[in-house]
Amino acid sequence: MGSLLIAGGTVVTLGSRNRVLPDHAVFCQDGVISRIAPRSELTVLADSTIDARGKVVVPGFINAHTHFYSTLVRGLTKAEPAAGFQEVLEHLWWRLDRALEPEDCQLSALIALIEAIRHGTTTLVDHHASPHAARGSLDALAGAVTRVGVRASLCYEVSDRDGAAVAANGLAENVAFLQRCAREPDPHLRALFGLHAAFTLSDATLERAAAEARRLGAGFHIHVAEAASDQEHSLATHGVRVVERLNRLGVLGPRTIAAHCVHVDEHEMDRLAATGTAVAHCPQSNMNNAVGVADVPAMIARGVVVGLGTDAMTENMLEELRAALWVRHLAAGDPSAGFTETLATLVANNAAIADRLWPGLGLGELREGGGADVVLVDYQPPTPLDETTFAGHLVFGLSQACVDTTIVAGRVLMAGKQLRLDLDEAELAARARERSRALWERF
Ligand SMILES: [Zn+2]
């Protein structure tokens, strides 16, 4: 893999003790950061060198919840307007996912991952659905991840909504991919056991999934209380709230990611905290679907690890962070509400979630011995930039700046805003337009 020297930028380490280090250098060897030091002291001979002067050097961003498969929906006008969240699913997403074929899934992933590289997002936790092309779908996505060179955790969302045979295929797909990841360890790939949401899963299916996941030592990735209707369904059908039901059936735990958690009460927050279950907050999606605003500060105060996901609204984590801040202020009627907690979702808590999947790699932080996932942003700070001011620069400055270079595990995936990938982006987009025309016909 060789060595790479990133020389001369302002290095922002993030991590538990964020340091802002002007005119520093980062030396990467064999996919790992071997040294961070002042540029003048780091005069090693590297296989290649990147001039980072005039740039801010940050760890690659992490997206704790997304769906690659939604890429080809852009501009689709056939879906009837939805009156509520259930209709968003019925009119759009469940019609789309039923029409997906294997090549659509792979193209969707490739394009989403290229967008991630362009925005400095280097680790993604995906949640996949293609009910009539479930088997082999995670291998297809993994192929895209490997080809592009980012890191991703994949899962297939099991659901009873399309009948028993499709549910069985979904269970089998998770098992097969978890077994593949155990058999053929790959630093870029991780697996979770995917579940759609409590309201489309019977107790019997959840029990089967829990038994398989226990056997394989896997955590789950599931949508939880995204809309109030998930709670109404749970109470009416099972007599308990969603988090309680999932806990009884063995779905919660420190390896599980619960996306959304907009409609959880205080007991459920305590249960999420006690079980160590992580939450992925997805504010742009929640606003778009008009389902409500998750109470992130309350969850964090109760000890829940709340990270930040985009639910495929964007691959730009700083855009999602800004949306998270503004909606928190608006929901609280307080322009100072939840700044620290919201910032922590992206910076500290996504790193904690990534650490559960890639233990010890220090993703989300630049540190010696950690994974060399590094992003260079064009940014000349117009006000003092140091540890005390960094948050303001992140939200108001870096978020508006261009990502210049994206590096994952020491491999340069984009430099000077040019992709360095073994694929033709224009050709890929042309093929995707062709496939999406056919997909929209089947929709
Ligand atoms: Zn989602």
Distances (CA, A) of 77 to 80, 99, 146, 344, 443: 8, 15, 33, 37, 11
Q: How far is the CA of 89 from the centre of ligand 1 (A)?
A: 11
Q: How far is the CA of 397 from the centre of ligand 1 (A)?
A: 28
Q: How far is the CA of 230 from the centre of ligand 1 (A)?
A: 14
Give the pLDDT of residue 15.
Answer: 96
Q: How far is the CA of 192 from the centre of ligand 1 (A)?
A: 14
Q: How far is the CA of 172 from the centre of ligand 1 (A)?
A: 21
pLDDT along the chain (443 residues), means of 10: 94 97 98 97 94 98 98 92 93 94 96 98 98 97 98 98 97 98 97 98 98 98 98 98 98 98 98 98 98 98 98 98 98 96 98 98 98 98 98 98 98 98 96 96 93
Q: How far is the CA of 369 from the centre of ligand 1 (A)?
A: 33
Q: How far is the CA of 313 from the centre of ligand 1 (A)?
A: 10
Q: Any residues with CB less than 8 A from the CB of 326 and at least 6 apart, and which?
A: none
Q: How far is the CA of 337 from the centre of ligand 1 (A)?
A: 26
Q: How far is the CA of 217 from the centre of ligand 1 (A)?
A: 23
- What is the distance of C-alpha 149 from the center of its chain? 15
Q: How far is the CA of 265 from the centre of ligand 1 (A)?
A: 20
Q: How far is the CA of 410 from the centre of ligand 1 (A)?
A: 30
Q: How far is the CA of 210 from the centre of ligand 1 (A)?
A: 20
Rounded to whole angstroms, the Cα distance separating 425 from 421 reads 9
Q: How far is the CA of 442 from the centre of ligand 1 (A)?
A: 23
Q: How far is the CA of 51 from the centre of ligand 1 (A)?
A: 38
Give the pLDDT of residue 207.
Answer: 98
Angle at 67 between CA 65 and CA 72, to 5 degrees: 155
Q: How far is the CA of 38 from the centre of ligand 1 (A)?
A: 42
Give the pLDDT of residue 43.
Answer: 87
Q: Which residues partner with 403 through β-bridges? A: 377
Whole-prediction pTM: 0.98
Q: How far is the CA of 426 from the centre of ligand 1 (A)?
A: 28
Give the pLDDT of residue 1.
Answer: 72
Q: How far is the CA of 227 from the centre of ligand 1 (A)?
A: 12
Among candidates 72, 68, 66, which has minimal Cα distance to 443?
A: 72
Q: How far is the CA of 354 from the centre of ligand 1 (A)?
A: 18
Q: How far is the CA of 183 from the centre of ligand 1 (A)?
A: 28
Q: How far is the CA of 127 from the centre of ligand 1 (A)?
A: 7
Q: How far is the CA of 65 from the centre of ligand 1 (A)?
A: 6
Rounded to whole angstroms, the Cα distance separating 126 from 312 reads 9
Q: How far is the CA of 373 from the centre of ligand 1 (A)?
A: 25
Give the pLDDT of residue 216.
Answer: 98
Give the pLDDT of residue 361.
Answer: 97
Burial of 397 (0-12, 13-18, 19+ CB in 10 A): buried
Q: How far is the CA of 356 from the centre of ligand 1 (A)?
A: 20
Q: How far is the CA of 311 from the centre of ligand 1 (A)?
A: 5
Q: How far is the CA of 115 from the centre of ligand 1 (A)?
A: 18
